[in-house]
Amino acid sequence: MDPLGAFAPLVAAANLPRWKDTQFPYYDIMVDDPSEKRISPFKWSDEINQKVVLWSGDITELDTEAIVNSTNETINDKHPQSVKLMKAGGSDLAKDVEANVKACRTGEAKLTRGYKLPARYVIHTVGPRYNIKYRTAAESTLYNSYRSLLALVRENNIRSLGVSCVHTARRGYPLAEGAHIAIRTLRRFLEKFGSDIDLIVFVVTGKDLEVYNSLLPLYFPRSQSEEDFAAYHLPEDIGNEDGEPVIAERRIRISGDPVLESPRQPSAAAGGGFEESVTISEAFQTSVAIGSHSFSKMELDFDKERKTRLKHFSSQEKSLNSRNERYAQWLDCAKLTDHSSMQALRCLYQSGFDKHGRAVVVFLAKNYPASSVNLDKAILFFIEVLDCIVDHPYVFVYFNSMSTRDNHHSMNLVKDVYSLVDSRYVDNLAGLYIMHPTLWSKMLTWWITTFSLSLLKPKVYNIPGLEYLYSRIAPDQLDLPPYVLEHDIKVNGTRYYDPDQDAAIGAL
């Protein structure tokens, strides 16, 4: 279908590389007991992957039949992307919005023509504002935004769609959490209605591109090994069959006589596949005396009971509860903090996965100005980056390369951060690799892991050069600045790998 009045520069969506054809690593997934192997609910499908594109570019130049405009309730968002889209559509688009759309509630979507845009249609939708206290509501609303825009796609027989991020940092929504909902909702849509659509283009830029590159393989695996890898890295909440977030405790079982029926275990005669109902009234042929039931008994004051229970908590349990509460407060703050200044330093980030499928976190000491950085912001950024990673096994690679005294904090700060974060950070840490260690750094590491942070000691590995690191993490999974390689060559030369020394390092 030809676009209407397409005056903007054109990017032919049909020529963009499909997800099926993109390069992907081989994942070496080892399972001790095959009977306990996890199974991903999102199967490898070339048919589905052929309909998906991940593209970093200007959505106003894309010639898909429809594009998504993430805006505000009055369709006059001042974000540069939304402003550019409305401007590219011309005055007719603005008049259409003013006359026929006027407003769009959060979680809803409205359709207009594209006018001067290459796209025939624009789907306007409003994502939620994020507040950690109302996380469930935000997730449900974000899902509703995607569901609403996809409903318009089907209603109008739209065959190709350019989707920008409905969840936005300007509304406080964590990028990774929003991306999980977006990607899985579109995956479920393609599973159910794939015959109704030819192409979905994820249009993302900047930090969103990094997030989508890391999460798309979980929901759109491109090989059997990637599907197996995804089974171990998907979050616990993957929604229902439509991708909608599900809260288990809010599920309601509806029966024909909900007051007088309760579930009974399935019987053999019923085939064992469904619950039977037992009518409670049959068990009460005589009068039902209120006084014989527990709900009529006098109970002690709840607050007093709770205080009594708390008295029996050990000091260790109280300390753990206090630590968890403190971490939750820092996490809440991290979600609402602008991390752009820390991101600009490019000192801490996730960089692919190791040969065992574990996430790799990189810290570049040289890029970290310890003497001038805001410590609170640094800790909040550390929590923001790692909180979603430490749910699963991961490795932390600390590059000491070319760092100076100005790049290092005191050991007391390291201990303070250790006491702040929750147990996942240590429990799921598979290895702390210290790259290009010096004699001084080795002494400090030994001292602190021996006398202060003993749980870390068996997880620390001093790795003298990149060639030894490559035997643990493939080079294409490491995003490193040129100075690291230059320093490695200066210190070690070339072709210095020694298998015996590698085995002595450990953590293979």
Q: List pLDDT tens digits, range 445-468.
A: 887 777 767 888 889 999 999 999
Judge if 185 and 41 occupy the same domain: yes
Which residues lie closer than 8 Å to 55 by C-beta, 6 or more apart? Answer: 16, 62, 201, 202, 203, 204
Contact 119, 12 (CB under 8 A): no
Look at the block and give the residue holding tokens 């690799």: 433
- CATH (domain of 389): 3.40.525.10
Burial of 427 (0-12, 13-18, 19+ CB in 10 A): exposed
pLDDT tens for 316-331 read: 555 556 677 888 888 8
Whether residue 33 is contained in a domain is answered as yes
The pLDDT of residue 408 is 83
* Residue 346 CA from chain centroid, whole number: 20
Residue pair 35/127 in contact (Cβ under 8 Å)? The answer is no
In a domain, 263, yes or no: no
Answer whether residue 285 is part of any domain. Answer: no
Q: What is the pLDDT of residue 281?
A: 44
In terms of residues, how long is the chain? Answer: 508
153 found inside a domain:
yes
What does the buried/exposed string (b/e) look like for 149-164 if buried means 16 or more CB atoms within 10 Å of the residue's CB? bbebbeeeebebbbbb
Tell me: pLDDT of 195 over 70.
Answer: yes
How far apart CA 393 and CA 312 sit, in angstroms, is 34
Task: Note whether 41 and 238 are within 8 A (CB).
Answer: yes
Q: Which of 142-156, 351-365, 401-415, 417-431 is predicted least confidently?
A: 401-415
Is there a contact between 160 and 197 (Cβ–Cβ < 8 Å)? yes
Number of domains in the chain: 2
CB atoms within 10 A of CB 289: 9
The predicted pLDDT at position 303 comes to 59
First vs last C-alpha separation in the chain: 55
Q: Which tops the pLDDT comparison, 60 or 265? A: 60
Indicate if 363 and 219 belong to the same structural domain. Answer: no
Percent with pLDDT over 90 in the chain? 49
Same domain, yes or no, for 350 and 228? no
Q: Quick one: 229 and 350 in the same domain? A: no
Kindly report, residue by residue over 378-422, the tens digit of the pLDDT: 999 999 999 999 999 999 999 999 998 888 876 666 777 888 888
Expressed as residue numbers, the domain containing 235 is 13-246
The contacts of residue 438 (CB under 8 Å, 6+ apart) are: 400
Residue 78 lies in a domain: yes
CATH code: domain of residue 120: 3.40.220.10
> Are residues 100 and 212 both part of a single domain?
yes
pLDDT-based confidence at 1, cuts 50/70/90?
Answer: very low
Q: What is the dihedral of CA 477, 233, 227, 474, to 10 degrees?
A: 20
- Report for 29-38, 234-243, 291-300: range of highest mean pLDDT: 234-243
- Grade residue 6 by pLDDT with cuts at 50, 70 and 90: very low
In sequence order, which residues have a C-beta less than 8 Å from that of residue 299 and are 6 or more positions away? Answer: none
Give yes or no: residues 327 and 422 share one domain. Answer: yes
Residue 50 lies in a domain: yes
CA-to-CA distance for 327 and 384, rounded, in angstroms?
12
Last residue of a domain, one of 198, 216, 246: 246
Helix ranges restricted to H, 76-223: 80-89, 91-96, 135-155, 175-193, 206-219
Q: What is the pLDDT of residue 127?
A: 92
pLDDT the model gives residue 448: 78
Last residue of some domain: 246, 272, 304? 246
CB distance 54 to 212 below 8 Å: yes
The interaxial angle of helices 175-193 and 206-219, nearest 10 deg, is 50
Per-residue model confidence (pLDDT) at position 280: 40
Q: Phi, psi (5° rounding) for residue 314? A: -75, 160
Among residues 165, 150, 145, 163, the alpha carbon closest in space to that of 202 is found at 163
Distances in Å between the Cα of 364 and the Cα atoms of 371, 481, 504 are: 15, 9, 25
Which residues face 52 on adjacent strands?
200
Residue 225 domain-assigned (yes or no): yes
Of 476, 486, 445, nearest in space to 463 by CA: 445
Instruction: Tell me the residue ranges of DSSP E strands in 232-383.
Output: 261-264, 276-279, 348-353, 359-364
Position 486, amino acid: E
Of 246, 278, 304, the one marking the end of a domain is: 246
Helices 411-420 and 375-386, packing angle to 10 deg: 50
Q: How confident is the model at residue 508 (pLDDT cuts 50, 70, 90)?
A: low
- pLDDT reported for residue 109: 95
Which whole number is the average pLDDT over 139-147? Answer: 94
> 182 and 59 in one domain?
yes
Same domain membership, residue 232 and residue 329: no
pLDDT of residue 232: 87
| Of the listed ranges 80-84, 202-206, 258-262, 490-494, the one predicted with least confidence | 258-262
In this predicted structure, the answer to whether residue 254 has a pLDDT above a threshold of 60 is: no
Q: How many CB atoms lie within 10 A of CB 66?
A: 23
State whether 357 and 493 are in the same domain: yes
Looking at the fold, whether 219 and 89 belong to one and the same domain comes out as: yes
pLDDT for the residue numbered 87: 94
pLDDT for res 16: 96
Burial of 198 (0-12, 13-18, 19+ CB in 10 A): middle
Residues 155 and 22 in one domain: yes
d(CA 246, CA 248): 6
pLDDT mean over 73-77: 89
**Same structural domain, 217 and 98:** yes
Residue 111 per-residue DSSP state: E
Does 214 reside within a domain?
yes
CA 352 to CA 344: how far, in whole Å? 19
pLDDT > 70? residue 187: yes
pLDDT level of residue 442 (50, 70, 90 thresholds)? confident
| pLDDT tens-digit readout, 270-325 | 444 444 444 444 444 444 444 444 444 455 555 566 566 555 555 555 555 667 78
Distance in angstroms (rounded) separating the CA atoms of residues 474 and 477: 5
Say what the pTM is: 0.53
